[in-house]
Amino acid sequence: MDHHTKTNIKHILVANRGEIAVRIIKTARLMKIKTVAIKTAIEPTAMYLSLADDIFDNTEDLSEIPVFLDIEKLISIALKTGADSVHPGYGFLAESAYFAQKCIDNKIIYIGPSPDAIYKMGNKTIARRLALKNGIPMAMGSEGNISNDEEAVKIAEKIGYPVIIKAASGGGGRGMRIVRKAEEMERMFVIASKEAEKAFNDPSVFIEKYIENPKHIEFQILGDTRGNIIHLGERECSIQRKHQKLLEEAPSCALDNNLRKKMGNMAVQIAKTVNYYSAGTVEFLLDSDKNFYFMEMNTRIQVEHPVTEIVTGIDLIEQQIRIANGESLKLKQEDVKLKGWAIECRINAENVQAGFAPDPGKIEKISMPSDPYIRVDTGIQAGSSVLSQYDSMIAKLIVSGKNRKEAIKNCKMALDKVWIKGTKTTLPFFRLLVRNQKFQDGTFTTAFIEKDLDKYYFNSEYEEMLAAWFATKLFVEENLEANSINVDFENSKEMSPWLMNKRLNQF
């Protein structure tokens, strides 16, 4: 891939942290574009800082609001450091129309879509109207926002239960609640609305018919500022829990070329309603009869973008930068060829034995496998911490293969080579998943985790016994010290130094 280009963009402010900051910096380097990253007080030694060309030291700023959410501050940093452009990454301000506009007002290139497109697609009620007007298939729902649970009950009775309450300004699964009967409405309405207010500063919600057991299929879009828009095929993201994606793959085994073409065209059409440029994602639900419904459009680079990069060979961050630079798309729809299969596992610091509760903490050891079929995107190195202020991502393990079967096989091997110590992780969940028949068949839906699994982790036959042996060893060593029971310990008088240390540190 030729990354070199004559460009207006020479210096990017990376307005993000973690793995996505690392990801942006890597492509910028290939394109010989300088980057500036922001050093914060809570993560002064983060990995992304070591890769950037320049660092803006913001460690004196002890404000509770992360700098990555502080528009005025980011603009002033860009101006101070001489950055000519800003990449927002995902999360934080990545879908703030106001931030994009502020950049433009200050003559800073915003590496992303237009403020107008961000605003329209970010407001789900506007997006719904746009889609309806353009004949895009949609689930039935409320005309606009709804103001109270009584109104919600009325609409729900009209379209039929179950319904889903969604945040008008939402995304990423927050502010969403499924309601199966009228009695649940009041409580769910309050929860969804409060969560929406907290997460998006906007309590407005609307209602849609809830599609039971769908697949989550999304299309990657690329558009330039001259009105060319193409899609790069789909990603299947049905493996999710409470609307949080855990594993994504490209392509999806639920689509054949016909359906891919149909949905892809629809995705391009949706993007056209807002004259979309940059990278974006159109999300659909696909029901068991292969009917599809437009859900929402995400106006940013997504966490799961690497699986598309692998099967298309296209660097999406590079495309974003080129498009922001005013270049027209070199690719035509017919140039996009999907090759092979890619699977991404989100290795998060979460406790799969306690409902995937976040388990933040220091990562003491981390070692990721390296093989031609493995790509790892991470912002964590040994000594880094997963902080409760941010998301719980440790690393994305992206595995490919000639076909789905081979990708799953490679994934299974790769999972056993990942070594992380310090927090609990989602690894045992993925170890279970790659061995699950329904996952292997590809017949799973978004209800898979809740309905088809009775436990969320895999352990091989002897693992519990080995753990028991370890507990027994500890007991023996501790009680040898205390000498409280009469045991013949002649042959196990070994108090290893690591154990001593461990105990001194812990207790």
Q: Which residues bind another protein (CB under 8 A)?
A: 174, 187, 190-191, 194-195, 198-199, 242, 351, 353-355, 357-359, 364-365, 367, 388, 391-392, 416, 419-421, 424-425, 427-428, 457, 459, 462-476, 478, 484-492, 496, 498, 502, 506-507
CB-count exposure of residue 501 (10 Å: 0-12, 13-18, 19+): exposed
Least distance (Å) from another protein to the CB of residue 191?
A: 6
For residues 310 and 340, is the Cβ–Cβ distance under 8 A?
yes
Closest to another protein by CB, 157 or 416: 416
At 259, phi and psi to the nearest 5? Answer: -65, -35
Least distance (Å) from another protein to the CB of residue 422?
A: 9
Q: Tell me the pairing of strands 163-167 and 34-39.
A: unpaired
Cα dist from 432 to 2, 446, 454, 461, whole Å: 40, 17, 11, 13
Q: What is the DSSP letter of 461?
A: T
Least distance (Å) from another protein to the CB of residue 455?
A: 10
Six-digit token pair at 62?
């002890």
Question: Hey, which residues does 374 pair with through a beta bridge?
Answer: 399
Residue with the two structure tokens 């999710």: 240
H-helix or E-strand spanning residue 62: none
Closest to another protein by CB, 301 or 366: 366
CA–chain centroid gap for 51, Å, is 22
For residues 236 and 253, is the Cβ–Cβ distance under 8 A?
yes
Cα dist from 263 to 165, 220, 294, 320, 365, whole Å: 25, 11, 10, 23, 43
Give the three-class secondary structure for 31.
coil
At 152, phi and psi to the nearest 5? Answer: -60, -45
Angstrom distance (rounded) from CA 184 to CA 50: 50
At 34, phi and psi to the nearest 5? Answer: -80, 155
Give the three-class secondary structure for 218.
strand
Instruction: Give the DSSP letter string of 133-191.
Output: HTT--B--B-SS-B-SHHHHHHHHHHH-S-EEEEETT-BTTBT-EEE-SHHHHHHHHHH
Give the three-class secondary structure for 477.
helix
Closest to another protein by CB, 79 or 357: 357
CB proximity list for 257: less than 8 A, separation 6 or greater: none
CA–chain centroid gap for 11, Å, is 26
Closest to another protein by CB, 257 or 483: 483
Q: Of the residues 17, 23, 241, 300, which is catalytic?
A: 300
Least distance (Å) from another protein to the CB of residue 90?
A: 14
Least distance (Å) from another protein to the CB of residue 70?
A: 17
Instruction: Give the DSSP letter string of 301-353.
Output: --TTHHHHHHHH---HHHHHHHHHTTPPP---GGG----SEEEEEEEESEEGG
Least distance (Å) from another protein to the CB of residue 27?
A: 28
Instruction: Give the DSSP letter string of 194-216.
Output: HHHHHHHS---EEEEEPPSS-EE
CA-wise closest residue to 271 among 430, 120, 149, 413: 120
- 128 catalytic per annotation: no
Catalytic positions, written as ranges: 300
